Amino acid sequence: MSRCRGAARPRGGSISRVEPISVLDYEPLARERMHPAAWAYLCAGAEDEVTLRENRAAFERLRLVPRVLRGVSAPDLRTTVLGTPVEAPVLVAPMGVHGLAHPEGECASARGAGEAGTLMAVSTVSSRSIEEVSACATGPLWFQLYVYRSRGLAERLVRRAERAGCRALVLTADSPRWGRKERFLRVAGSLPPGADAASIDSEVGEEDLAPAALTWEDVAWLRSVSSLPVVLKGVLHPEDAVLAVEHGAAGIVVSNHGGRQLDGAPASIEALPAVVEAVAGASGGRAEVYLDGGVRRGTDVLKALALGARAVFVGRPVLWGLAVGGAEGVRRVLGLLRGELEHAMALCGQASVGGLDPELVSRGAR
Ligand SMILES: Cc1cc2nc3c(=O)[nH]c(=O)nc-3n(C[C@H](O)[C@H](O)[C@H](O)COP(=O)(O)O)c2cc1C
Ligand SMILES: CC(C)CC(=O)C(=O)O
């Protein structure tokens, strides 16, 4: 399979554009620039990639029902996430090893995100250390934490993230073991250069680096070792969302890890409404709910916001932009999504991203 997704793209015609005009235009350009094994790793979903495809299909099944004659000429996209202002509710998802896409790795992505006026979540398995990324960053950072069997490592990472100025800890909850990325396993046994995890210190052995089977007590543990807000990533069940709130999570990312963990899990946009409702009941609206998985268009962002997400995280497209144009490519990908969101809001008669009506979204034509 040559592409991450199989949707038809315009063929033939005499017009060739130098500049990509949508996020999806970056995908084939990125593929040309990346090592085949790195590309397979980036694209891969788990096993049959049912959930990977479903993330997109579920967005495409939803319809936006516009409101008219509302005099909206310049929608306001600005919002805050856990108190941090961002220019638009489109954030950079934590992803490992950006060095596979560009030699500057997360340093370039963090600059691109900052220049786009948004925040980036830095993965535990970043190609540049958290200190290096923080030194390059021009915008706010969160730190994504994988808790391995070595709790000492987790605590050291938390301290370093705090010292590096990260504003929240994103605890990934959906990975008690790594998903089987068969698309990658078929083409390569290992990753090409650029895949070293620079923040993992040399004090830990290979066996300490297996993921831990976490429990809710570990959320309480994380809160006890840091005063940073904790965001729980990888929640799909509304009862887990309630438990997250009860254990002190300040935010929840409704996510199936971009279809890379449990194949057969629901699309995140389908899981979102029930989680939003559960969190509203459990926290009185204090905990923020975010979504990731399959966001490729401004209209996807608008659907997620209307269904109750405060912001979305974008994964693979950021790495496509990074592979194509370094920091500038990341800025452009985020800028395209932002521009499309603004356009979609104007067409839907929506003046601001706060308090969008769920009625804006329908499951079929009215
Ligand atoms: C190459 C790659 C690496 C990833 N690494 C991490 C990671 O280190 N930690 C994590 O919590 N999620 C990781 N994810 C999952 C993303 O945070 C996010 O959930 C997913 O990419 C969103 O879906 P999208 O790619 O369709 O936008 C990774 C995803 C990809 C594609
Ligand atoms: C397997 C991990 C080390 C990185 C990750 O979360 C991912 O590639 O999806």
Q: Which residues pair with 243 in a beta bridge?
A: none
Annotated binding site for FMN: 94-96, 123, 144, 172, 233, 255, 292-296, 315-316
Question: For residues 50 and 263, what is the distance between their CA atoms, to the nearest angstrom?
Answer: 6
Q: Which amino acid is at 171?
A: L
Q: Are strands 141-145 and 120-122 parallel, antiparallel or unpaired?
A: parallel
Nearest Cα to Cα of residue 95 among 6, 177, 213, 197:
197
Spatial CB neighbours of 241, under 8 Å, sequence gap ≥ 6 = 235, 252, 254, 275, 278, 279, 282, 289
* Residue 314 φ/ψ, nearest 5 degrees: -115, 135
Structural domain contains residue 163: yes
Q: From the CA of 94, give the closest atom in ligand 2.
A: 6
> Does residue 30's CB lie within 6 angstroms of at least one atom of ligand 2?
no
User: Which residues form the domain of 309?
Assistant: 23-67+74-350
Give the alpha-carbon dihedral of 340, 342, 343, 346, to 10 degrees.
Answer: 160
Q: Which amino acid is at 212?
A: A
3-class secondary-structure state, position 19:
coil
Nearest Cα to Cα of residue 197 among 144, 138, 159:
144
Measured over the CA atoms of residue 76, residue 170, residue 122 and residue 194, the dihedral's sign is negative
Question: For residues 65 and 101, what is the distance between their CA atoms, to the nearest angstrom?
Answer: 38
Structural domain contains residue 1: no
Question: For residues 5 and 138, what is the distance between their CA atoms, to the nearest angstrom?
Answer: 32
Within its chain, how far is the Cα of 205 from the centroid? 29
Within its chain, how far is the Cα of 264 from the centroid? 19
Structural domain contains residue 17: no
pLDDT in the model for residue 40? 98
Tell me, what CATH number does 147's domain have?
3.20.20.70
Burial class (CB in 10 A: 0-12, 13-18, 19+), 109: buried
Distance 180 CA to ligand 2 centre (A): 10
* Domain total of the chain: 1
Angle formed by the axes of helices 316-347 and 26-33, nearest 10°: 170
3-class secondary-structure state, position 291:
strand
> Does residue 260's CB lie within 6 angstroms of at least one atom of ligand 2?
yes
102 is catalytic: no
Q: From the CA of 258, give the closest atom in ligand 1.
A: 23
Angle formed by the axes of helices 298-306 and 316-347, nearest 10°: 70
> Does residue 259's CB lie within 6 angstroms of at least one atom of ligand 2?
no
pLDDT in the model for residue 176? 95
Q: Which amino acid is at 358?
A: P
Mutate to test the pocket of ligand 1, among 260, 261, 297 (most ligand atoms within 8 A of CB): 260
Q: From the CA of 121, give the closest atom in ligand 1.
A: 17
> Does residue 294's CB lie within 6 angstroms of at least one atom of ligand 1?
yes
pLDDT in the model for residue 12? 45
Helix (H) or strand (E) holding 280: helix 268-283
Spatial CB neighbours of 213, under 8 Å, sequence gap ≥ 6 = 176
Annotated binding site: 41, 94-96, 123, 144, 146, 172, 233, 255, 257, 260, 292-296, 315-316
> Does residue 36's CB lie within 6 angstroms of at least one atom of ligand 2?
no
Structural domain contains residue 10: no
Two tokens, residue 15: 């017009």
Structural domain contains residue 362: no
Mutate to test the pocket of ligand 1, among 31, 60, 95 (most ligand atoms within 8 A of CB): 95
Q: pTM for the complete prediction?
A: 0.96
CA dist 198 → 38, 103, 157 (Å): 17, 13, 11
> Does residue 178's CB lie within 6 angstroms of at least one atom of ligand 2?
yes
Query: How confident is the prediction along the chain (366 residues), in pLDDT tens digits per residue?
Result: 345 654 445 444 445 557 899 999 999 999 999 999 999 999 999 999 999 999 999 999 999 999 999 999 999 999 999 999 999 999 999 999 999 999 999 999 999 999 999 999 999 999 999 999 999 999 999 999 999 988 899 999 999 999 999 999 999 999 999 999 999 999 998 898 888 999 998 777 777 778 899 999 999 999 999 999 999 999 999 999 999 999 999 999 999 999 999 999 999 999 999 999 999 999 887 899 999 999 999 999 999 999 999 999 999 999 999 999 999 999 999 999 999 999 999 999 999 999 899 999 998 754
pLDDT in the model for residue 16? 52
Structural domain contains residue 12: no
Measured over the CA atoms of residue 326, residue 330, residue 333 and residue 335, the dihedral's sign is negative
Distance 239 CA to ligand 2 centre (A): 25
Burial class (CB in 10 A: 0-12, 13-18, 19+), 353: buried
Structural domain contains residue 360: no
Distance 315 CA to ligand 2 centre (A): 12
CA-nearest residue, atom 3 of ligand 1: 95
Question: For residues 68 and 73, what is the distance between their CA atoms, to the nearest angstrom?
Answer: 12
> Does residue 125's CB lie within 6 angstroms of at least one atom of ligand 1?
yes
Mutate to test the pocket of ligand 2, among 95, 100, 126, 200 (most ligand atoms within 8 A of CB): 95
> Does residue 95's CB lie within 6 angstroms of at least one atom of ligand 1?
yes
Two tokens, residue 62: 């939803």
Structural domain contains residue 187: yes
